[in-house]
């Protein structure tokens, strides 16, 4: 689904990742993180696509909300597990969304 974001400006965190072949615990952790992030103050929505390259974009009210999420203890534990086990490479980009528009048929 395409996230329903508010009027710009707001921020986007773009997480691009290449997975390893290890899957143990990934699905459960991913589900938990997806539930937890929705409860974070300043979280606006999320979009995700998975194939050879996984891309998740989360949308945020401001940079402080992004930092709070990055520092969340459960999220930090998932980050460490991801670095050790589930990802061979990832990159995080943070961007300010200046404007957006959409088409709906």
| Span 3-52, pLDDT tens digits | 999 999 999 999 999 999 999 999 999 999 999 999 999 999 999 999 99
14 by Cβ neighbours in 10 Å (0-12 / 13-18 / 19+) ranks as middle
Helices and strands in the chain, H and E counts = 3, 4
Close Cβ partners of 28 (under 8 Å, ≥ 6 residues apart) = none
Domain ranges of the chain: 16-97
Instruction: Quickly state the pLDDT bin for 76 (edges 50, 70, 90).
Output: very high
Architecture of the CATH domain 16-97 = 2-Layer Sandwich (3.30)
Residues 29, 78: contact at Cβ < 8 Å? yes
| Span 84-105, pLDDT tens digits | 999 999 999 999 999 999 999 9
d(CA 25, CA 81): 9
pLDDT at residue 31 in the model: 96
pLDDT at residue 61 in the model: 98
pLDDT at residue 41 in the model: 98
pLDDT at residue 65 in the model: 98
Close Cβ partners of 68 (under 8 Å, ≥ 6 residues apart) = 40, 41, 42
Mean pLDDT of 55-71: 98
pLDDT at residue 72 in the model: 97
Q: What is the DSSP letter of 92?
A: E
Residue 56: which H helix or E strand, with range? strand 54-60
């Amino acid at each position: 689904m395409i996230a329903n974001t508010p009027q710009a400006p707001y921020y986007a965190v773009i997480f691009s990742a290449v997975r390893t072949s290890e899957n143990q615990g990934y699905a459960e952790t991913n589900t938990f993180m997806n539930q937890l992030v929705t409860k974070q103050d300043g979280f606006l929505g999320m979009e995700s696509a998975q194939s050879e390259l996984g891309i998740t974009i989360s949308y945020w009210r401001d940079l402080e909300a992004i930092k709070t999420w990055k520092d969340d203890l459960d999220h930090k534990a998932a980050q460490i597990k991801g670095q050790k086990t589930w990802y061979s490479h990832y990159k995080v980009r943070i961007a300010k969304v200046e404007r957006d528009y959409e088409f709906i048929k």
